Amino acid sequence: MPKKRLKQNEKRRYENFLKKRDMKKILKEITSSDKKQAEKLLPKAYKTIDKAAKTNVIKKNTASRKKSRITKLVNQKENAK
């Protein structure tokens, strides 16, 4: 492989890693937080998931499934308290 292609692949791989890491981090924050905090973090989670789906880090249906599940989780927290 040409050197330029290797550098491009390395850079893209790292950017994808960062997007996935951010997504996992915010999902973990939502699951471990209380109802009010989770509701505040929900738009940020949607944003990171949508960005990951837009750049093909995750697939569209996976993004939709993740958003649905975290919304369901936040609503369950609401009913529990």
Q: What pLDDT score does 1 carry?
A: 86
Report domain extents, the chain: 3-80
> Which tens digits make up the pLDDT trace of 19-33?
999 999 999 999 999
- Angle, helices 3-32/60-80, rounded to nearest 10 degrees: 20
- Fold for the domain defined by 3-80: Methane Monooxygenase Hydroxylase; Chain G, domain 1 (1.20.58)
Average per-residue pLDDT for the chain: 94
Write down the residue that tokens 């837009």 correspond to.
54
The token pair that represents 43 in the structure block: 């738009």
Q: What pLDDT score does 78 carry?
A: 67
pTM: 0.88
